[in-house]
Chains A and B, each alone.
Chain A
Amino acid sequence: MPESNAFEPSQSPTSRLPVIGPGHTYASINEKISAIVLFRGTTFGWLVGFGIAFMIFMMMLGSISYLLYKGVGVWGINNRVGWGFDIINFVWWIGIGHAGTLISAILLLLHQKWRTSINRFAEAMTLFAVACAGLFPVLHLGRPWYAYFLFPYPNTMGMYFPQFRSPLEWDVFAVSTYASVSLVFWYVGLIPDLATLRDRARGWFTKTVYGFFSLGWRGSARHWHRYESIYLLLAGLSTPLVLSVHTIVSFDFAVSIIPGWHATFFPPYFVAGAIYAGFAMVLTLAIPVRWVYGLEDFITDKHLENMGLITLVTGNMVGYAYIMELFYGWYSANEYEQFMVHNRVLGPYWALYVALIVCNIIAPQFLWSKRIRRNSWWLFTISMFVSVGMWLERYVIIVVSLHRTFLPSSWGTYAGTFWDWTLYIGTMGFFLTLLFLFIRLLPVISMSEMQMLLPGASGAPEKGAAKP
């Protein structure tokens, strides 16, 4: 038995805190989690939150309508900085999505039991973040109604294949594959829980809806056998996917010739940054959710601590990349690379660079302290810093590299306009709207997997039983 039993503290330093609160039974887990959906009803707090999120979502639709009516010129982009908030936000959102897959897939492959209570809404977060991210590559096109040209299909133009040498074309496949695989993975995980909701639902309509989506799950041994196989296969499939998707996103920059973009360390650096931003976002969401719905028994301090640790590790990887960026700029002996570094630190956007260092490198250093790692207020504050910092990181990479490149005659500045901001904030409303609907309609924590954490489940030896 490689994993430590959750009910035996002090077996190893990392399992000092339990992954599930004491005294839970199969019934109490079901009771507690399904009640959020079935019996709690639509509360006032939920309604207020959903209402606010929905209004911000409407702002997004408004700014999209204006964008389609007027054109991309309503944004602050110009001839030198052709990519602005549109791509910054795209990379930011897609990065946020990556922690969900990391939690559900990679931690599953690594047999990390603590993933169990956070994987469901981390996966939901992935889906909603990818939905937000997916808007930008389409909307930032001057003529978004021709976006389907990016797909290979037998068209009347006789050009069945798009340019497969462009990383933007790879983005199409990366993001669409990522979205669909994540959806399938999430849905497969939901099936046993939907069956639980079906069985516990009182109303005819509720029973029908959950019954339809649970696809007649009966939980037989044969069902479970195949379920576990497909779940593991999907996890094995998602793991290279999550690494390659953000690698491909980083290729949008690394493949170019722009100083500050053309860097071979971008793929792992972007992936680390994605996991960093993603875990920060999971923390930002998990802390209020567990507080509002009283889920401290399931999302324990151990979870927060582990997430804090991963945030610290990936944060330091990102920090290493910043240092390397400065180093290779100097070491390249290339005047453009050296100027790029100089412009990052001392150029017109120096304040953003300083803010970036504060948010992304200094703020997570507090996570070395166990006291801070286990304090949800501290964690929440730090994860907010990271979310802002990771947005600034993409801003610095994209804008500060573009606004001063090879020719001084092509230098200029860039700033987001009103419509840049409304679309960006609007996508947050879209994200939160989906999240509120998810919390109201689906179990936020996987009940079936939580039950496997109980002693005696999944073949684990009972407490006090003789170990083989």
Chain B
Amino acid sequence: MAQHFHRSMNTIAKVSIFGAVFIIGFGAWLLLEINRSSNVTNVGIALPQPVQFSHQHHVAGLGIECRYCHTSVEHSAFANVPPISTCMNCHQQIWFGAPMLEPVRASWKSGQALEWNRVHNLGDYVYFNHGVHVQKGIGCVSCHGRVDQMQLIYKDQPHTMEWCLSCHRNPAQHIRPRDQVFNMTWKPEDIGETQASLGARLVREYNIEPARKLTSCSTCHH
């Protein structure tokens, strides 16, 4: 009786078993990578906006401080997007005829709100509070990146729960003096310290809760 399987099956069998280990391992790795890539988290992707608003121009170019527009960030849970009246404080006079600002003027005339696209959009089951982070010395840069260098706003950090918890488990790595929260360029070296020594001191000084409390469900998910 003739041989049923060809001799090459010896090689194919060995390679397929050996290869399966790598294919499964690669698949698992790929899945984890995709979940953390900008395909899922939108990091680095600027959404289309009704007006091509440039933070770079307003912050770095003109030196406007964050709180001029995002007024409620220190005390409210929600850091507001400025109303049209804030825009019109300047743009009633400056670049009044610019075509780029047409949607802003239209909104001003009609009273219809400008529909910005939200870039940092958490699930509604996450109760993020801006005020407490600002009050406890977390700078804008830590979560939103160098907004002063962004022509169009995009996510600088993934804003996943894993990312939130990495700081809640060890806040000392990002904490800074309260008066430097809105400073885009601040470094601990500016005041002759390292983040490690400063962080540990500020965590004590600002009465930051221990990780056990900061990572409890009710902290963010109520």
Q: CA separation between A103 and B163, bound complex, in Å?
A: 51
B162 CB–A CB distance under 8 Å: yes
B158 CB–A CB distance under 8 Å: yes
Q: Give the one of B36, B162, B166 with max A CB within 10 A.
A: B162
Q: CA separation between A158 and B161, bound complex, in Å?
A: 6
A36 to chain B, nearest CB (A): 22
Contact of B162 among A155, A198, A208 (CB under 8 A): A155
8 further A-B contacts with Cβ under 8 Å, apart from A156-B160, A158-B160, are A155-B162, A156-B40, A156-B161, A157-B161, A158-B161, A158-B164, A159-B161, A159-B165
Complex interface bits, A148-164 against B, C-beta within 8 A gives 1, otherwise 0: 00000111111100000
Q: Which residues of A contact B165 (CB under 8 A)?
A: 158-159
Q: Would you list 29 pairs from A and B whose C-beta atoms are within 8 A, ordered by A residue?
A: A153-B32, A155-B35, A155-B162, A156-B35, A156-B36, A156-B40, A156-B41, A156-B158, A156-B160, A156-B161, A157-B160, A157-B161, A157-B162, A158-B160, A158-B161, A158-B162, A158-B163, A158-B164, A158-B166, A159-B161, A159-B165, A198-B4, A207-B4, A208-B4, A208-B5, A211-B4, A211-B5, A216-B5, A216-B13
Q: CA separation between A309 and B162, bound complex, in Å?
A: 56
Chain A facing B: main interface SS: loop
A214 to chain B, nearest CB (A): 11
B121 to chain A, nearest CB (A): 15
Q: Which residues of A contact B161 (CB under 8 A)?
A: 156-159
Q: CA separation between A155 and B162, bound complex, in Å?
A: 8
- Chain B interface size band reads 10 to 19
Q: Give the one of B4, B35, B161 with max A CB within 10 A.
A: B4
Q: CA separation between A157 and B13, bound complex, in Å?
A: 39
Q: Looking across the interface, which residue of chain B has its beta carbon closest to that of A211? A: B4
A363 to chain B, nearest CB (A): 49
Complex interface bits, B120-157 against A, C-beta within 8 A gives 1, otherwise 0: 00000000000000000000000000000000000000
Q: Give the one of A156, A207, A211 with max B CB within 10 A.
A: A156
A163 to chain B, nearest CB (A): 12
Q: B160–A154 contact, CB under 8 A?
A: no
Q: Which residues of B contact A155 (CB under 8 A)?
A: 35, 162
A306-341 at interface with B (beta carbon < 8 Å): none
B134 to chain A, nearest CB (A): 23
B158 to chain A, nearest CB (A): 7
Q: CA separation between A211 and B1, bound complex, in Å?
A: 15
Q: CA separation between A155 and B13, bound complex, in Å?
A: 34
Q: CA separation between A236 and B36, bound complex, in Å?
A: 42
Q: Looking across the interface, which residue of chain B has its beta carbon closest to that of A157? A: B161
Q: Looking across the interface, which residue of chain A has its beta carbon closest to that of B162? A: A158
Q: Which residues of B contact A158 (CB under 8 A)?
A: 160-166
